Amino acid sequence: MADVARLAGVSHQTVSRVLNDHPNVRQETRERVLAAIEGLGYRRNSSARALVTRQTNTLGVVAFDTTLYGPASTLYGLERAAREAGYFVSIVSLRELTRDDLAEALDHLARQQVDGLVVIVPQSAIAVALAEMPQPVPVVTVEGDAGVGLPVVNVDQRKGGALVTEHLLRLGHRTVWHVSGPPDWLESQARTQGWRETLLAAGAPIPEPLSGDWSPRSGYRCGQLLAGVPDLTAVFVANDQMALGVVRALDEARIRVPDDVSVVGFDDVPESEFFTPPMTTVAQDFSEVGRKAIELLLDALADDRDHSAPAAEGADGAYPAVPPARIVVQPHLVVRRSSGPPRRS
């Protein structure tokens, strides 16, 4: 910066001014400085800047199992939105969904002095744990709505479960069986709730749901159980991977999809259109979720800056009690060949 100042024939804080788009710089001076910057290939030292501004311009993301399509897509949306807003993104993937791992991740990111955090917290216990941890910086949660008072963006999973169930009922099925995800996952709970409520509203019998761990293998095991159910005509499986396993197990039991049994998944992974048969499923706009989360976080950061200015605060310095922001993204049903009317028996 000193070099730039010298070459442009100004002081170094004038250089700083043009770098920060300060208004009080004469046009001609600005141009001279810009030329010097260009000529020297100068690049501002971000550490020095962070030291004085107390902002690192980096956002932390903590996620779980980013090899799955959903988290990976959300992460992609987050990264893209953050970068477009001029932020760096630092990521940590949890090995396990435990309180300790989460605490460690937050600690790691705090060490880096991120300006804000987005945490993907799929389990209720984890959402609660997160809410109880000290939060030195603004936090936005994704899929973490356990009513714990943190800002959240999520997909309306309950609606998704309802869409599937309505679809199957409308096709003429008397009821719909269900393979849920792990019971302690929020997404899993909401999808199951949507399914149950819809059956209830329709006066349809409500079978005992089976549950898997999202993996195709667990779906396969549930499928083997389902193959023994008399009168089975329709199954709602809580994700596409498990649905694939269910179809496989039914196939091995000589039960045809959709001729004998309709199977519907959830997520609309890119493969699902090419499963045998192509899978009816629910699409979620993960990128949108990522974008919205960053939007919310940037809003929170801006609020934070406003409030830290010693302006119109309450006497006790407390923030006005605004309810935490909530953004809900709507899913939609994608009908393919794995679902159809029940076979007349």
- Residue closer to DNA by CB (options 10, 78) is 10
Using rule CB under 8 A, residue 233 touches its own copies: no
Using rule CB under 8 A, residue 215 touches its own copies: yes
- Residue closer to its own copies by CB (options 58, 157) is 58
- Tell whether the torsion through CA atoms of 125, 289, 85 and 83 is positive or negative: positive
Selected from 141, 198, 233, 241, the binder of its own copies by CB under 8 A is: 241
Output the CA–CA distances (angstroms, integers) from residue 51 to 1, 178, 297, in the order listed: 16, 54, 22
- Residue closer to DNA by CB (options 24, 345) is 24
Strand 332-334 vs strand 281-283: parallel, antiparallel, or unpaired? antiparallel
Rounded to 10 deg, the angle between the 216-226 and 240-252 helix axes is: 40
d(CA 33, CA 307): 34
- Residue closer to its own copies by CB (options 29, 215) is 215
Q: Give the type of residue at 109.
A: L
Using rule CB under 8 A, residue 254 touches its own copies: no
Residues 255-294 that bind its own copies (CB under 8 A): 270-271, 273-276, 278
Using rule CB under 8 A, residue 48 touches its own copies: yes
Q: In a 3-state reduction of DSSP, which class is residue 119?
A: strand
Nearest to 222 by CA among 252, 243, 206: 243
Q: In a 3-state reduction of DSSP, which class is residue 142?
A: strand
Selected from 5, 16, 40, 88, the binder of its own copies by CB under 8 A is: 88
Contact present, 196 and 184 (Cβ < 8 Å): no
- Residue closer to DNA by CB (options 16, 90) is 16
Footprint of its own copies (CB under 8 A): 43-48, 50-51, 56-58, 66-67, 69, 72-73, 75-76, 79-80, 83, 88-93, 95, 108, 110-113, 215-217, 219-220, 241, 244-245, 247-248, 251, 270-271, 273-276, 278
